[in-house]
Amino acid sequence: MAYSFTDMTQVGSMQINSGVQTIFSGINIDSTLTDSNCTVMTLNVTGRGAVDYNYSSVSPDMLDGELFQSLTLKPRQLQVEMMISAKDNATLRRKFEQLNVMLRKSDIAAIQFTDENDRYYYGVYTGWDNPKEDANELVFTLEFNCSNPFKYSAEKTIAYNNSAVLTVNSDYPTKPYIEVSYSGTSTTLDIINTTTNKTIKLSGLNPSVEKIYKIDVSRNSILKASTNIDGFTNLVITSDWEDFKIKTGDQIVITPAPASTLIKYKGVFL
């Protein structure tokens, strides 16, 4: 935090500038709720550091110690400490009404912090620490549950040349969106990651009419043509759909060779 003070001969004022602001579902809570009558500020965020794991083991009879079974990531819990300072009680109450509108979501939403502005967490608001409300200035903590502990970058785009070596800005393999333009005669389309030997195969196509195929592994969707016809029925059952991912160093080969290929992805980080 940085503090600035006026000269003692003048009317004093103090400004506190936080190094981080909270963005929930695309709305900056700090800047949206702050005005001439009220200051809302993120003071601290915890839960963005090291992650926790679920450890599973068994203790068989006649065996010292345990037998390891599995290790999986726990959900990520984010705690956002905030301050609200209002000129009067009516302003304070109205700001909390507006905050409740921002936080009320029926589905998982993106959570972002301005000191980490190319990383997105995905979670839901679950509650707060319910401090004593006996003043017009309160410090409170909002709690968010991220069932998926990973965080993601903004979407990246690659104009891909068939069989080129990929450079992917991600710590972990990520599920891509692959847009293929093809208007040839083959009724099948094979997309092969030659590094992992994972394949997506489409059959029963009409490329002279459809011309474009949008394979979105991350969203579990396949669309055809400019009118976005559902193409999931064209997916061959032996495809490695659930396991098809990309990372730096991989090569994607599309057969028959397309006119152009566009790959989009979100980097995965922990």
Predicted confidence (pLDDT) per residue in 170-194, tens digit:
999 999 999 999 999 999 999 999 9
Is 94 strand, coil or helix? Answer: helix
What pLDDT sits at residue 253? 97
Predicted confidence (pLDDT) per residue in 15-48, tens digit:
456 789 999 999 999 999 999 999 999 999 999 9
- CA distances 255 to 116, 203, 216, Å, are 40, 12, 18
**pTM summary value:** 0.86
- CA distances 93 to 84, 130, 206, Å, are 11, 14, 60
- For residue 10, pLDDT over 70 is answered with no
Q: Which residues contact 255 (CB under 8 A, 6 or more apart)?
A: 189, 190, 192
Q: How are beta strands 53-58 and 38-46 bridged, if at all?
A: unpaired
Q: How confident is the model at residue 5 (pLDDT cuts 50, 70, 90)?
A: very low
- For residue 9, pLDDT over 70 is answered with no
- For residue 12, pLDDT over 60 is answered with no
Q: Which residues contact 107 (CB under 8 A, 6 or more apart)?
A: 124
Q: For 70-91, what is the mean pLDDT?
A: 96
